[in-house]
């Protein structure tokens, strides 16, 4: 964990209780061993509720959507999160495509790979979320990934 930043406080799961929404900058390795790739340090966003003197994860970490269906190797790329904010109880992210130089507009469903997109995510329950702007599918461990649709 390289940094933690409070995005805001809101009732993101609609149960009447406020959650802390935080942005977490993480590396898969110790910083001195971190590779120079565009996905070696990524931001995720998660929601926690304060309970019994501690924090309980309410919504699993979101690391940005995926361009699907991709090709025979799977999704083209997981989008990275540049910024996160709350609009009421909706999480709004600005996302980018890592290694955008490797993809064409056609690869990304008529979206310019160098342009940032804005995605809006709504938590539905502790197992996952949906987006008002893109369809989502349930990923492993309750994460939320964008399905085959053009983000706005």
Residues 6 or more apart whose CB falls under 8 angstroms from that of 27 comprise 2, 34, 40, 41
Helix, strand, coil fractions of the chain, as percent rounded to 5: 5, 50, 45
Pairing of strands 19-27, 41-51: antiparallel
Q: What integer pLDDT is reported at residue 20 of this predicted model?
A: 92
Among candidate residues 67, 28, 56, the one with its CA nearest the CA of residue 44: 28
User: CA 78, CA 73: separation in Å to the nearest integer?
Assistant: 13
Q: What is the pLDDT of residues 110-131, one digit of tens each?
A: 778 888 888 888 776 544 454 4
The ranges assigned to domains in the chain are 3-146
Residues 6 or more apart whose CB falls under 8 angstroms from that of 32 comprise none
Q: How confident is the model at residue 19 (pLDDT cuts 50, 70, 90)?
A: very high
Q: What integer pLDDT is reported at residue 133 of this predicted model?
A: 38
> Which strand ranges, in their side-by-side order, compose the sheet holding 41-51?
3-10, 19-27, 41-51, 54-62
CB-CB neighbours of 92 under 10 Å = 17
Q: What integer pLDDT is reported at residue 88 of this predicted model?
A: 92
Cα 13 from chain centre: 16
């Amino acid at each position: 964990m390289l940094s933690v930043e409070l995005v805001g406080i809101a009732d993101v799961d609609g149960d009447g209780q406020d959650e802390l929404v935080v942005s977490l900058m993480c590396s898969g390795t110790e910083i001195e061993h971190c590779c120079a790739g565009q996905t070696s340090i990524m931001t995720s966003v998660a929601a926690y509720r304060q309970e019994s003197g501690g924090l309980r994860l309410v919504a699993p970490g979101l690391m940005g959507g995926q361009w699907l269906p991709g090709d025979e190797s799977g999704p083209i790329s997981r989008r990275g999160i540049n910024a996160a904010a709350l609009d009421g109880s909706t999480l709004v992210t600005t996302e980018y495509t890592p290694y955008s130089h490797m993809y064409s507009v056609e690869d990304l469903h008529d979206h310019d790979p160098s342009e940032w997109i804005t995605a809006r995510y709504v938590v539905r329950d502790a197992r996952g979320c949906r987006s008002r702007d893109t369809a989502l599918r349930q990923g492993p461990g309750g994460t939320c990934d964008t399905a085959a649709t053009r983000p706005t």
